[in-house]
Chain A
Amino acid sequence: GQNIDQPTEMTATEGAIVQINCTYQTSGFNGLFWYQQHAGEAPTFLSYNVLDGLEEKGRFSSFLSRSKGYSYLLLKELQMKDSASYLCAPTSTGGGNKLTFGTGTQLKVEL
């Protein structure tokens, strides 16, 4: 089965750093994706973690701890355009390459 937990909303200031946490309980866990979704638009890929540790990609970094069922997305030097929903999506080794999406964390960046 799947159980994914993310905060519903977060607010941060432009230029600051924000960390969005995700805990999951996934049978046959394989890896974890983070997607960004602006209002009224489709989700877009941000990161993918398979191994434990931190993956850095520009202003965005993602961390995974497989033993703790925990991941976070770190956004640095926040910009107004980062205001969006951030979706945590673990994947399992079951057939179909399926993702299960959390309800997402709505991030609001303020001046």
Chain B
Amino acid sequence: NAGVTQTPKFRILKIGQSMTLQCTQDMNHNYMYWYRQDPGMGLKLIYYSVGAGITDKGEVPNGYNVSRSTTEDFPLRLELAAPSQTSVYFCASSPSGGQFFGPGTRLTVL
């Protein structure tokens, strides 16, 4: 099992550009999550999904969108990148209980 994979590892965006952060898990987990982590801070939940076709907002959803068309994939979309979205983004999945994290995407918006 590859576990939770994320692409890209690093990305630099210009203000106003858009991009999609990819997340895939091969553990057949129902639950999936997107977090952002700013330097020296805790993880903040952006969006989560309890299964294919079902998504819901977390603590900091503004400026982001998600979709969950399959159990495996949970992409995160940034439509109009802003400097405040500079952060490290982690995707996680869970069968229930503990969450398994991907390696993260380090995003810089200039």
Contact = CB atoms under 8 A, between A and B. Distances in A.
Contacts of B102: 42
B94 A97 contact: yes
Nearest to B31: A97
The 9 nearest A-B residue pairs measured at CB: A42-B101, A103-B42, A101-B42, A101-B43, A45-B98, A97-B31, A96-B48, A43-B101, A42-B103
Interface of B: 31, 33, 35, 40-43, 45, 48, 50, 56, 58, 90, 94, 96-104
Interface residues on A, range: 20 to 34
B42 A33 contact: no
Given A42-B102, A42-B103, A97 B97 contact: yes
Contacts of B103: 41-42
A102 interface: yes
B96 A97 contact: yes
B43 A98 contact: no
A87 B43 contact: yes
A98 B101 CA distance: 13
Given A42-B104, A103-B42, 9 more contacts: A48-B98, A87-B42, A97-B50, A97-B94, A97-B99, A98-B33, A98-B58, A101-B43, A102-B42
A104 interface: yes
A33 B101 CA distance: 14
Interface in A6-33: 31, 33
Contacts of A98: 33, 45, 48, 58
